Structure 1
Amino acid sequence: MAPTEERADENASARISHAQYGASRTDAALWAGVSVLITDTSGRILVQSVDYRDVKLLPGGAVDPGEPPSRAAERELREELGIGQPVTRGLAVDWVPSTTPGFHPDTRFPGEILHVYDGGTWNAGRIAAIRVPDREITAVHWMEPADLKSHMEPGDARRALSALRARIDGTGTALLEDGTPTVPGVLDRLEVLRTVRKPQRWPWRDGPVPPGLPLTQCWGWLFAPDGRALVLIGRDTGSACLPGGTLEPSDDGDPAAALRREALEEAQVETGELIFLGHIYDDGVPTAGPRARTRMAGRITSFGPERRDPVSGHAYARLLATPEQIRELFDWGPEGDRQLDAVHRARERLQLPTAARQPVTELPPEGGRL
């Protein structure tokens, strides 16, 4: 036999059969599952109580044999919530280890590849249409993102928060391992939404502050040249805030002066001309009387090196995001949409473009110009 024929026979004998290869893959197989992330207009997440677990879960379940994951997600929404809608946008794919708690030993849980889909933001009409089945789903809840860790298994809570941050960031489908992104974005690194947000659902007013209504605070939508705005994230809390704060005696009742001072103290940011947007009517219940909290808009002209606020001692990360992304970090309720309309009118007056959704970025800590 020629040497080349000898080598060919050796290679053929070394190959495993199709049946052997299939068996090796079957032995290593993982379960396949889906979850659907749904929020309401206040940014709370829909979770379910079920009759077979003590913890809460996102809507979802197992992928049936031969079923595409997106179809499985749509089927689970129909079966568990009585809602029929297309589910096409993937937020995350998670590798769930076999050591995950919550599975009975008799299931011999091998681990799972779990697809998280975006179920969108549901308004009051869609929420009222929810119909849970007679068995399995015992209740539906709307939960603040930071509260998930108290009501879900740790990996499930990490996965839901990672998927929510991916949705806000608009980066596409995040790859997770046990709920943690393999390539964390800035929202992941800062653990944004790990602290319960303060509800700020006061009515929005486009007009000036009425005479006699005390003006206590001014906050700003401060824009970069690309149409994105500045949002501050507390490094010790993961909480979001706009630049601005309480009027001090040195401001002489001028909200623009208060905003400039606070933006410099908190974020070392300087601005050009400021435009009045409107105000939030805070009824003061139950601690005080009615008051106004104004909003203004302007361009960022420069920013200095990052440092702690000399007054409060807080350290903030300075992020640029679209107004829509910023709105998703707050609990403003439906009134947030009206404020957003005023923000875009001001952006147009400032002759700035509409920013396309893109990954949130952080201003360089050393400072600079935009």
Structure 2
Amino acid sequence: MTATPSPDTPPSTMMTDEEYGALRASAALWAGTSVLITDERGRVLIQHVDYRTTCLLPGGAVDANESPAQGAARELHEELGVTMIVGRGLAVDWVSADSLNAPAGMRFPGEILHVYDGGTWDDEQIAAIRLPDHEIRSVEFVEPARLPDLMSPGDARRALSALRARINAAGPALLENGLPISPTVLDRAGALRTARARHHLPFHAGPAPERLSVVQVWGWLLGPDGRVLVLLEPDTGAALLPGGAPELPDRDDPLITLRREVREEAAAGLGKALFLGHLRDPDKPYARLRYASPLTRLGPPPVDPATGRTHIRVLATPEQALELFDWGLPAAGQLAAVHQARARLGIPRAARQPLTELPDATDLTTL
């Protein structure tokens, strides 16, 4: 009989294969898998099931001799009628035995649950969903901030952590009971736990008609590496671009408004500002202006005089920034205008990468 050294015992101690197998089996966990799918507005697909009161991501238990990725693909086919390969992991969660209040008869030992990226689905992919005759009553896409109201606490934490990991682009998050072991700035700020800024207003590349009152001036402030400055509210995690509402001392000059606001909110300085266009509310005589400008300096984070709070400042690609907002399909036109302005300013296009927090005065030449 072969004797196997146990990694849990001193090197001089030997165990039989049966003893070693029994020891490892006593610490065995279940294995589960799930898939995070969003629509083009960044809303998350959840399933209403007939066997519990809370909602779930697509997924389930991993079968014997099946990899978690294979299990995720099988579950998508069984639950949504969709055939696809899932190969990009977003999170691995260690779920403790005492975290679910599972019935004693279930003898729940804990679980390792993998979350995979199912991608962003367009209308055609969503229309192709076919539900089974049982288990899945319906599916819907919901704002990320609604997940804690619709899912169990652990499931909601895991889904939000996985979504933040997808936006952050730093690789899969390692979780314990849904919480990251090494939280990113999005985790620490609690991004997506409150409803994202929603502006489903058409974007117009031309100047705003004079009859419209300018109620907002926001800027896409581009660092030397092509990423933009995004502000996160310290108490809600809500994201916004630097800028704000005109004030009387601004003398109806939107650039004065923009420079004042970004100085007050972010201690930032601007270079040459290029006008991108405006958003127009069809029901109100208002215009919201958008500019792009190089970010020339960044001082210590200030207290915003309008709110009394100090924003968390991060650099993100323009695409990552949009994932933190709910601007609908019109955002595509604004994004295209940002990249046109970036090219005119001679700034490179940033590759997708982890968000960078800027807690102190920053030497922008190092970016």
TM-score interval, normalised by the smaller of the two chains: over 0.9
**Paired residue for 2:314, among 312, 319, 336?**
319
Q: Is contact 1:101-1:153 (8 Å) kept?
A: no
How far does residue 105 in structure 1 lie from its aligned partner after superposition?
A: 2.7
**Pair 1:105 & 2:104 matched:** yes
Question: Deviation at 1:238?
Answer: 0.3
Taking the aligned partners of 1:262 and 1:94, their CA distance within structure 2 comes to 41
Match of 1:356 in 2: 351
Q: Is residue 212 from structure 1 mapped to residue 211 from structure 2 by the alignment?
A: yes
> What is the rounded CA distance, in whole Å, between the counterparts of 2:11 and 2:286 in structure 1?
83
The alpha-carbon deviation at position 367 of structure 1 amounts to: 5.0
Q: Could you tell me how far 1:193 is from its partner in structure 2?
A: 1.1
Counterpart for residue 133 of structure 1: 132
Separation in 1 of the partners of 2:99 and 2:341? 49
- Name the counterpart of 1:271: 270
The CA distance in 1 between the partners of 2:59 and 2:87, in whole Å, is: 14
Large movers: runs of 4+ above 6 Å: none
Structure-1 separation of matches of 2:333 and 2:86: 28
TM-score (norm 1): 0.93
For residues 91-135 of structure 1, give each alpha carbon's deviation from its aligned partner in whole angstroms, at most 9, with x where no partner exists.
000101111226333221111000000001111111111111110
* Aligned residue number for residue 252 of structure 1: 251
Q: CA shift at 1:13, angstroms?
A: 9.7
Q: Residue 364 of structure 1 aligns to which amino acid in structure 2?
A: P
Residues 197 and 327, structure 2, Cα contact 8 Å, conserved in 1: no
Partner SS, residue 158 of structure 1:
helix
Pairwise mapping of residues 176-195 of structure 1 onto structure 2 (< 5 A)?
A: 176-195=175-194
Tell me the residue number matched to 2:236. Answer: 237
| TM-score between the two structures when normalised by the length of structure 2 | 0.93
Quote the RMSD (CA, aligned, Å): 1.6
Once residues 82 and 194 of structure 2 are traced to their aligned partners in structure 1, the CA distance between those partners, rounded to angstroms, is 31
What per-residue deviation string (whole Å, max 9, x for no partner) do you get for residues 50-92 of structure 1?
1111111111001110111111111111111111112110000
2: CA distance between counterparts of 1:68 and 1:324?
32
Q: Distance in 1 between matches of 2:279 and 2:101?
A: 45
1:292 to 280, 287, 295: 287
Find the aligned partners of 2:11 and 2:314 in 1 and give their Cα distance: 59
1:228-276: CA deviation from partner (whole Å, max 9, x where unpaired): 1000000011000000111122222221111111101111111111000
Q: Contact 1:245–1:262 (CA<8 Å) still a contact in 2?
A: yes
Aligned residue in 2 for 1:81: 80
> How far does residue 45 in structure 1 lie from its aligned partner after superposition?
0.7
Highest Rg: 1 or 2? 1
Q: Share of identical aligned residues, percent?
A: 56
Structure 1 305/367 Cα, relative in aligned 2: closer, same or farther at 3 Å? farther
Task: Name the CA distance, whole Å, in 2 between partners of 1:58 and 1:356.
Answer: 29
3-state SS of paired residue (1:273): coil
SS of alignment partner, residue 158 of structure 2:
helix
**How many Å separate the matches in 1 of 2:330 and 2:79?**
30
**Separation in 2, partners of 1:80, 1:178:** 25
Aligned equivalent of 2:341:
346
Three-state SS of the structure 2 residue aligned to 1:16 is strand
| Whole-angstrom CA distance in 1 between matches of 2:303 and 2:13 | 65
Contact 1:306 1:367 in 2 (8 A): no
Shift of 1:307: 2.0
Deviation at 1:290, TM superposition (A): 3.2
- Whether the 8 Å contact between 2:215 and 2:287 is mirrored in structure 1 is yes
> d(CA) in 2 for partners of 1:96 and 1:217?
45
- CA–CA distance in 2 between the matches of 1:212 and 1:219? 20
What residue is the counterpart of 1:310 in the other structure?
Answer: 305
CA distance in 1, matches of 2:204, 2:62: 48
Distance 2:29 2:257 in 1: 57
Is the Cα contact below 8 Å between 1:236 and 1:315 reproduced in 2? no
Q: Do the aligned residues in 1 keep the contact of 2:223 with 2:364 (CA within 8 Å)? A: no
Partner of 1:5: none
Instruction: Give ranges in structure 2 of 5+ residues lacking alignment.
Output: 1-9
Q: Indicate conservation of the 8 Å contact 1:279/1:294, yes or no.
A: yes
Query: Aligned residue for 1:280?
Result: 279
Range with bigger deviation, 238-247 or 206-215: 206-215
Following superposition, the deviation at residue 215 of structure 1 comes to 2.1
Structure 1: distance between partners of 2:49 and 2:184: 32
State how many pairs are aligned: 356
What amino acid is the match of 1:306?
P
Shift in Å, 1:368? 4.8
